[in-house]
């Protein structure tokens, strides 16, 4: 009985500390984002697109993930950096939390990302985000969104800019990835480039069903590129999802 009470007390204390750390983190992130977004809006115009991402976006993302690390204890470990090709291509990752949208900005630059249009309406963050020309799609119009990803993504790749896509479309719980849309595979085939798959378990420590952050180490694995030239769009999509699913199973 006393053991159960002690365990419950320990858990309550841990939850209280997680609550305090999370509050401090979000407050710090909000202050940092508003400050940096204002700087971006005021000073970004003289910089070319590639430098905009490297100077403004990557800097913002680095500070953001380190705030989470210092305050909430969310660390990370990356495997497979040697698989990153010299030439930018389509990057496909599973989507479990907000953390990977920050971290992957620090990993590959210059970069553009496929996002939902609603993000551009967020005060300060969205206003600044618009300055780096993301591929902002209307998810209610799937046909138009697919064409937009192909057109704008192909243009970015032709200018040696990485294109990041989360093909699940929304955040999913840790474990088996959700259904992959074929937008990323279709873009890679249209642009005649390969796909760099990335798997992670960020949702274990930055859960989608709770705003509390859990201390621990996120596993990030970068896979060997998926060669698209000999495959159909469906085969490319399946090969990418299968590699990510296999990596997630190992992490679990």
pLDDT tens digits, 119-164: 888 888 888 888 888 888 887 877 888 889 999 999 999 999 999 9
Q: What is the mean pLDDT of residues 64-82?
A: 97
245, 176 contact by CB (below 8 A): yes
**Token output for 20:** 């305090």
Q: pLDDT at residue 5 above 80?
A: no
Q: Which of 163, 219, 174 is nearest to 196 (CA)?
A: 163
Q: What is the mean pLDDT of residues 232-239?
A: 97
Q: pLDDT at residue 37 above 70?
A: yes
Q: What is the mean pLDDT of residues 47-56?
A: 90
Q: What percent of the chain has pLDDT over 70?
A: 95
Q: Which of 167, 184, 179 is nearest to 228 (CA)?
A: 184
Q: Identify the pLDDT of residue 78.
A: 98
Higher pLDDT, 70 or 45: 70
Q: Identify the pLDDT of residue 80.
A: 97
Higher pLDDT, 18 or 12: 18
Q: Identify the pLDDT of residue 237.
A: 97
Quickly count: other Cβ atoms within 10 Å of residue 110's Cβ: 20
pLDDT tens digits, 98-119: 999 999 999 999 999 998 888 8
Q: What is the mean pLDDT of residues 41-47?
A: 90
Q: Which of 104, 184, 200 is nearest to 145 (CA)?
A: 184
Q: What is the mean pLDDT of residues 162-182?
A: 92
Counting every residue, how long is the chain? 252
Q: What are phi and psi of 196, to 5 degrees?
A: -105, 110
Q: pLDDT at residue 3 above 70?
A: no
Residue 94 to residue 108: CA distance in whole angstroms: 16
Instruction: Quote the mean pLDDT of the chain.
Output: 91
């Amino acid at each position: 009985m006393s053991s159960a009470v002690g365990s419950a007390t320990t858990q309550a204390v841990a939850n209280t500390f997680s609550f305090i750390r999370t509050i401090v983190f979000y407050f710090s992130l909000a202050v940092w984002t508003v400050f940096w977004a204002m700087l971006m809006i005021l000073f970004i115009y003289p910089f070319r697109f590639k430098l905009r991402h490297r100077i403004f976006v990557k800097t913002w993302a680095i500070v953001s993930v380190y705030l989470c690390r210092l305050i909430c204890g969310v660390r990370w470990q990356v495997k497979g950096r040697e698989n990153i090709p010299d030439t930018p291509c389509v990057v496909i990752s599973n989507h479990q939390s907000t953390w990977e949208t920050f971290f992957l900005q620090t990993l590959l630059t210059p970069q553009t990302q496929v996002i939902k249009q609603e993000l551009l309406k967020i005060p300060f963050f969205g206003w600044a985000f618009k300055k780096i020309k993301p591929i902002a799609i209307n998810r209610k119009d799937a046909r138009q969104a697919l064409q937009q990803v192909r057109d704008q993504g192909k243009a970015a790749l032709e200018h040696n800019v990485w294109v990041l896509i989360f093909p699940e479309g929304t955040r999913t719980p840790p474990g088996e990835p959700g259904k992959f849309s074929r937008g990323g595979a279709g873009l890679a085939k249209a642009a005649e480039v390969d796909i760099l798959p990335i798997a992670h378990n960020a949702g274990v420590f930055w859960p989608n069903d709770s705003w509390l952050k859990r201390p621990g180490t996120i596993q990030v694995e970068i896979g060997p590129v998926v060669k698209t030239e000999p495959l159909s769009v469906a085969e490319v999509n399946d090969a990418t999802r299968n590699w990510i699913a296999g990596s997630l199973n190992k992490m679990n």
